[in-house]
Amino acid sequence: MNPIEADATSAVVESHDISKIEPLNWWVGFKNQTLQLLVHHQNISAFTPEISYQGISIEKVHKADSSNYLFIDLNISEVTKAGKFNIVFKQDGKNDLIQTYELKSRLKDSKDYIGFDSSDAVYLITPDRFANGNPENDIAKTLNETTIDRSDNYARHGGDIQGITNHLDYIEDLGFTAIWPCPLLTNDMQQSSYHGYAMTDFYEIDPRFGTLEEYKTLSSKMSEKGMKLIMDQVANHCGLEHWWMKDLPFKNWINHQENYESNSENWDNSKSITTNHRRTTNQDIYASKIDKENMSEGWFVSSMPDLNQRNPFMATYTIQNSIWWIETANLGGIRQDTYPYPDKNFMSHWAGAIMAEYPNFSIVGEEWTTNPLLIAYWQQGNPNKDGYNSNLKSPMDFAMQEKIASGLNRDEAWDSGLIEIYQALANDFIYVKPKDIMVFPDNHDMSRIFTQLKGDIPNTKMALSYLLMLPRIPQIYYGTEILMNDFDKPGDHGLVRSDFPGGWRGDKVNAFTGIGLSDKEKDMQTFLKTVLNYRKNSKAIHDGKTIHFAPDNNIYVLFRSLGDETVAHIMNKNDTTVELDLSKFKELGLEGKTVKNLISGEQFLWHNGMLTLKDRGSVILTTKL
């Protein structure tokens, strides 16, 4: 259909007759000039849409299997101006339905959306458990779960977006440059809606977390501080209570849809066809067809319908949703959940479409594997034998995480202890770009690092300082800085995601101010703050050359060097005083240079003699005084 040419700046009489149209708005000035609108309204397929707005043409209208949907393909030409216009839906003998739609001006060019990289340190937050900035939004009576109970680790506790915004100074002061909150979109589930991973509306902030404006305010205040907001997104699944589950547009909108529709009246775990979780089928040259299908098409859990990205309308919907949030919230990155579970060709298309529009953006994908070969497979540019290119800048380094914990927990031997960590880093030869991989001591889905390391503070400090020295993008989970733990029930998700002390009115302990913290907790907070703030301005750590020396005498030493800055990281597992022979490291050219102990502030002249190590733990030395 050719548009009826009209003045783009002429006034529009606004009308909103349509139940739902997504994306909620769009922008002019994208490289990709196409837009597909999802329209949901009673019997809308009987209507014909028309648009009269200069620069916009309706290319095609698609009817779905449900008569309550239309998918409208628009072309937005280069001359199109920002503004509002009406989409008129016509049917003989019926009144017109009119929906006002808006094309906005973009706030900045695509190239100016700068993602996270190895110069950043990411603070991961479970929003419901961090800080309750606005108790007025704790309960939304229109939603299914309408209780707050801080004594129940699987109930909602009331943390919200305002709570994060209120404490940006604390996070910045610690030395973090980016924040990754777990999902903040509406999860209108019956229970355990607090974690955010069962979305029931991909375009709505959960009212118990706040409003879209509060989310945008968080982003803008972070931008003022030079910080980046990373959005946690889920392409693989939605929540069972998602609005479209009552009226699915196509017969193949979700995987195993026929099974669900046949059993929806008495749905439970026994009816669900769940994934086999055999993620290696994505790479396995011997994998059977049934194993591959079970992996990518099975539901993650029975309460999370598996989205079918092989449906081209679902694919477009998902890509547009990600772009909508990048533009709306001025994002500094996306973290994509359960990365290997959706159709892998779609995930390449999804990431590629985003990176084509935003060439300096960043996406990190969750692939929970301790096999470096699989991590490497998912990184953009890896020479995969099957020709697959993920377009994904940053996979996650679960392999390194496991070896750091294991190497510190196990006794020193030929094949255990620090050698495990050394060999884990030696695996970097397999990666296209190691410094774009995200490393972490723990996260919201695993036991906290202090628990993993059996409450051993020197080992915890070694784990944290080591990973902060690596050619990687580091992510730290909230509360790690004050030794939060899950000793009472190791690995229990509700306990791992405990409330941050001081985030609620009346908390007797306040980690934001230090009130009520033990000396050990304050010491860890200071330690991490010192290392992070040094790292923030260290070009050697961000981009420098890495040299490490095989562990010897229970000591492992790693160097990062760039220009006149060299950082030495020493991991010492000896319980008694030992001497470290510095002549072993003469290839670094440090002889006669002054170095500073990052933690103690002590300075000394490096000479190729002995360095006394009195205490078990980490020592960080730098030539940057």
| Two structure tokens written together for 91 | 């049917």
| Two structure tokens written together for 480 | 């790690």
DSSP assignment letter at 600: T
Phi and psi angles of residue 120, each rounded to the nearest 5 degrees, phi first = -95, 160
| Two structure tokens written together for 504 | 């609620």
What's the count of helices (H) and strands (E) in the chain, helices before strands? 15, 24
- Three-point CA angle 358, 363, 366, nearest 5°: 160
Question: What kind and span of H or E run contains 257?
Answer: helix 257-263
Question: What kind and span of H or E run contains 546?
Answer: strand 545-552
Kind of pairing between the strands at 603-605 and 594-597: antiparallel
At what angle are helices 312-329 and 344-357 packed, to 10 degrees? 40
Q: Phi-psi category of 403—alpha, beta or left, where left has phi over 0 and alpha has psi -120 to 50?
A: alpha
CB atoms within 10 A of CB 359: 12
Q: Cα separation of 390 and 384, whole Å?
A: 10
Q: Cα separation of 548 and 550, whole Å?
A: 7
Catalytic residue among 232, 366, 367, 436: 366
Q: Which residue has the tokens 């999860």?
A: 187
Q: Cα separation of 602 and 621, whole Å?
A: 9
Q: Cα separation of 37 and 346, whole Å?
A: 20
DSSP assignment letter at 135: G
Catalytic residue among 297, 337, 486, 499: 337
What is the DSSP secondary-structure string of 467-522?
HHHSSSEEEEETTGGGT---TTSTT-HHHHTPPPTTSSTT-S-BTTTTBT--HHHH
Which residues make beta-bridge pairs with 620?
569
Q: Is residue 337 flagged as an active site residue?
A: yes
Q: Is residue 268 flagged as an active site residue?
A: no
Q: Cα separation of 297 and 306, whole Å?
A: 7
Q: Taking a C-beta distance cutoff of 8 angstroms, is the pair 581, 553 a contact?
A: no
* Residues annotated as part of the active site: 337, 366
